[in-house]
Amino acid sequence: MAAGEGIALVELDQDGVAKDFRADVLTGLAQEQKAVPARWLYDDAGSELFEEITRLPEYYPTRAETEILSARGAEFRELIGAGRAVVEFGSGSSVKTPLLLEAIGPAAYVPLDISGDFLRAAAADLAAKFPELPVYPVEADFMRKVELPRAVARYPKLGFFPGSTIGNMVPRTAVDLLRSMRATLGEGAKLLIGMDLIKDPAVLRAAYDDVQGVTAEFNLNLARRINRELGGTIPVDKLRHVARWNDTFARIEMHLEAVADLRFEVSGRGFSMAKGETIHTENSHKFDLRSQNTLLLAGGWTPVSRWLDSEGRFSLILADWTVPKGAP
Ligand code: AVJ
């Protein structure tokens, strides 16, 4: 069976995507600090490279979060309860999602993703693993309120947002997303969200600049994608992957740094970079326990429980839709 066969989906508008990519790149390269939104890292090649990253010895987040999901199933079941509709923000991981579903015994599973292809593949995968579980994939941009399928209207919801993907957003965007999730999930919902923790910057830098150079390839793939899809002439061999710890904003930043003065074109427009100048390609914010609470509360979610992996590197937080009443 083809991935997702029999699961109805609105087709993604590929022309629209290409236009958005061009607009984001042309705008971003014209800025004083060149920057391209991180979502464009994830074409097919980029998504495969990210999968490879999750298996690197230096990249601890995936292993740490998976450890929590495997070890704490009974507690999830107790605190979340059976019979919810699990709404996953993003297509779902073939490892993490089954661990959660196995633990809590949900009534339905609703993966949300902007990319129809990943969504179809993930939904088919899940449906095969859990033949009894109704799966309702929705192709949508979850940065805004999403209309959920009518079939899950009667169930209380559990939002699932693993991977510390929230950390890719600057705080004001993260808060917008948390509020959209609140609107999407509705009264009585809970949210299980992964957030990476602040730690020794050397450990963080290694996680984003591995010795095998896979993360470098992942970052450089963005320049290759620009050349491929937008008629670019970026000399990729003159760009260098850099992972920096920005302590003020508590985030790892990925940049592509020019190792010489460069001139190139994208979609017929000329750009230049002085040696040492960078294109900022991704932020990965890290948190301490209080900054996690503050971010969640600002987004309308009350933290109720938190789990760390055995080495204290990563956390999963359960939050509640109910906002505490109190003065002022
Ligand atoms: C998928 C966004 C969670 O920020 O750790 C990994 C992406 N970038 N290595 C992260 C990423 C470089 C990853 N997220």
What are the tens digits of pLDDT across the range 42-75?
Answer: 888 998 999 999 999 999 999 999 999 999 999 9
- In short, whether 163's Cβ falls inside 6 Å of ligand 1 is yes
What is the pLDDT, as a whole number, of residue 124?
92
* CA 164 to ligand 1: nearest atom: 3
pLDDT at 12 over 80: no
> What are the pLDDT digits (tens) for 119-138?
888 899 999 999 999 999 99
Question: Which contiguous run of DSSP H or E holds residue 120?
Answer: helix 116-129
If DSSP codes are grouped into helix, strand and coil, which group holds residue 206? helix
Q: What distance separates the 2 farthest-apart alpha carbons in the chain?
A: 60
One DSSP character per residue, 14-25 reads HHHHHHHHHHHH
The rounded Å distance from CA 284 to ligand 1 centre is 7
If DSSP codes are grouped into helix, strand and coil, which group holds residue 204? helix
The rounded Å distance from CA 122 to ligand 1 centre is 19
Which of 18-22, 112-116, 314-318 is most confident? Answer: 314-318
Give nearest CA residue, ligand 1 atom 8. 208
Alpha-helical segments (H) within 30-115:
44-53, 61-71, 73-80, 96-104
**Chain mean pLDDT for the chain:** 93
* CA 196 to ligand 1: nearest atom: 5
- In short, whether 208's Cβ falls inside 6 Å of ligand 1 is yes
Q: Give the residue, out of 49, 168, 209, 285, with the most ligand 1 atoms within 8 A of its beta carbon, to mutate for a pocket test.
A: 168
Give nearest CA residue, ligand 1 atom 12. 208
Instruction: Tell me the pLDDT band of 324, cut-offs 50, 70 and 90.
Output: confident
